[in-house]
Amino acid sequence: MAHQGAAVEQFDRWLRHEFLDLNTELEEAYFAAHREILYGPDLEVIKQAIALNGAKLVAQIVEAGTTPVDARERYQLLGAVGLYLGACRRHEVDVPEHELVESLANLLGASLGVAPRYVFAHQCLYGYRTFTALDDERVFVTHNGLGVLSYQRAAHALRRIPAMGVSSPLAAYLLEDARAALDDVLLSNRTLSETLNVDRFFLNIRPYFKPYQVGGVEFRGANAGDFAAINEIDLLLGLCAAHDPFYQRVLTEKYAYVPPEDQVLLRAAVTGVSLLELLFREAATGPVTAQLRANAERFLAVCRAHGAAYTFHHHRLVKPFLETPAKHAPEERVNDITASGPPLDVVLGGLQRLSDLRAARDRPGVVVTAQASLNKLREVINVEGR
């Protein structure tokens, strides 16, 4: 066990130093040529150094014959192996001893019930990791990570309200906390939009988020939204519905890519009653009290904050950082452009629909949202409460 621990530590040190430096050197060469990838003898030497040295270190872990007992340590090791595989995929270089490397990833993934690849949680919450030393990657990981923490804070606050009741004065505190957290999501998105360089993201960061194969099966790319919190908020607010086939597909596709503890939260979220429904139920029991009206107004403010944060993300991050530069990509790279796996137009269509749902913005003939229900709530608290 001590030998295996030493092998894991050696692999971790390599990822944080030599691996980081080699990737950075390649990315600087790509960026200087304004290309997603370049080929040539000198660059191939660097790519092979990543592939060969990483495989050697993973082999040493496998030769130790055991995997960590602690689930968190297994998840962190899966992320480490995944970062190596993701870099090989990004630089389009074969993995030496790929069956051995992929068998470790499969073993770790199966033991945890997750996809056998790295996901964004491995970069921001299970050890802060980047592929390169580029400032723009640090900005991307840091501010997306802050957004994740803010979403988690909002979800935690909203999750506690049903047990205490939507008219509780204590629920008022939690609704204010949730709104403040979602305002922080918007702030993180604004900072990202103002700080991250579009070309650096498109050429040097996005390519690491591509799908790659493990054991002959392709697993879609990492996504900064692969956490339960944003979906908990969708469902708790009543802006999305677990019985909506579109939203069911979102949850089902996402399940294997969230951390194990988030899988528990996703399962619980689909069976709960929304705060919107609870507000209607309480209002139907008698006159609307001042506290219920105030809490309903706070609830509507949380809905607005959730919609504002995601709408900003879609229009000021997804479109200018992904959709626009993709239109100018070289023809031979177009089919390889993705936001994590499916064709780009499919991804963008799904994100637009999610933006409409979260902002409660109907598109006649295209999507019906919670807009009518929110308008009805406004009528209930403003008319019946008088």
Instruction: Assess whether 146 and 112 both reside in one domain.
Output: no
Of 4 and 85, the structure prediction assigns the larger pLDDT to: 85
Is 149 part of any domain? yes
pLDDT of residue 185 exceeding 90, the answer is yes
| Residue-level pLDDT at 5 | 85
| Residue-level pLDDT at 1 | 41
pLDDT in tens, 133-164: 999 999 999 999 999 999 999 999 999 999 99
Instruction: Assess whether 292 and 353 both reside in one domain.
Output: yes
Is 14 part of any domain? yes
Print the domain residue range for 26.
Answer: 1-118
Instruction: Assess whether 232 and 267 both reside in one domain.
Output: yes
Q: Is 337 helix (H, G, I), strand (E, B) or coil?
A: coil
| Residue-level pLDDT at 346 | 84
What is the average per-residue pLDDT within 93-104? 95
Instruction: Assess whether 277 and 154 both reside in one domain.
Output: yes
Of all residues in the chain, the percent with pLDDT exceeding 70 is 95
Backbone angle region of 65, left / alpha / beta, with phi > 0 → left and psi within -120 to 50 → alpha: left
Q: Which of 41-50, 276-285, 355-364, 375-384 shows the lowest per-residue confidence on average (mean pLDDT)?
A: 375-384
User: Total structural domains in the chain?
Assistant: 2
Task: Say which CATH number the domain at 172 has.
Answer: 1.20.58.480
Instruction: Assess whether 86 and 152 both reside in one domain.
Output: no
Instruction: Assess whether 111 and 259 both reside in one domain.
Output: no
pLDDT category of residue 383 using cuts at 50, 70 and 90: low
Average pLDDT, the chain: 94
Instruction: Assess whether 114 and 151 both reside in one domain.
Output: no
Is 126 part of any domain? no
Instruction: Assess whether 236 and 101 both reside in one domain.
Output: no
Of 330 and 322, the structure prediction assigns the larger pLDDT to: 322
Instruction: Assess whether 146 and 5 both reside in one domain.
Output: no
Note the helical H segments in the chain: 2-16, 18-32, 41-63, 71-90, 98-112, 120-124, 135-159, 161-164, 169-195, 198-200, 229-237, 245-254, 260-269, 275-284, 290-313, 324-326, 344-358, 371-379
Task: Say which CATH number the domain at 10 has.
Answer: 1.20.58.600
